Amino acid sequence: MAAKIEDRIERDVLIAAPLERVWAILTETEHMGAWFGMPKPTSADFRPGGWVVFEHAEFGEIPVVIEDIEAPRRFSYRWALVNAGKGTRPTPGNETLVTFTLAEEGDGTRLKVVESGITAVEGPDDVLEARFKDNTEGWTIVTEAARKYVEEIVSGG
């Protein structure tokens, strides 16, 4: 495994909204794609073992399988790291675990996103390094987009 790849990517952001409202917006089908920078899921079975499928303009179909839900504080899913999109389903050797955790902080909610299991993914080092870099940048964009989206809805904007 290349030294440029770490096993985890962690990002967090403080959202000016109550925890229950943040949870609802992150997990309700009508909002799911919007804060993630995609359209509404083409299918959504939001329960452990259920599949949520997004249609991304650039990458095509992105299926994720829900791993765990502890409403209203935590949910996680698995998705494919290599060949992400194109309908590639997560499988051992090509999947990472993405965990979203919410915690009350003052009048707001701290959203923490952790993608883990990266070093267990099999593939050419250059491909894995590129995906690690893309996802590291991507989670920064997604957490900020989630903050803006939730705050806009909560403020009535």
Note the pLDDT of residue 1.
Answer: 44
Note the pLDDT of residue 2.
Answer: 43
- Domains in the chain (CATH in brackets) are 8-154 (3.30.530.20)
- At residue 35, does pLDDT exceed 90? no
Beta strands 74-80; 108-116: pairing state: unpaired
- At residue 33, does pLDDT exceed 90? no
Note the pLDDT of residue 56.
Answer: 81
pTM over cut 0.85: yes
Note the pLDDT of residue 40.
Answer: 82
Q: Is 1 exposed, middle or buried (0-12, 13-18, 19+ CB in 10 A)?
A: middle
Confidence class of residue 156 from pLDDT cuts 50, 70 and 90? Answer: confident
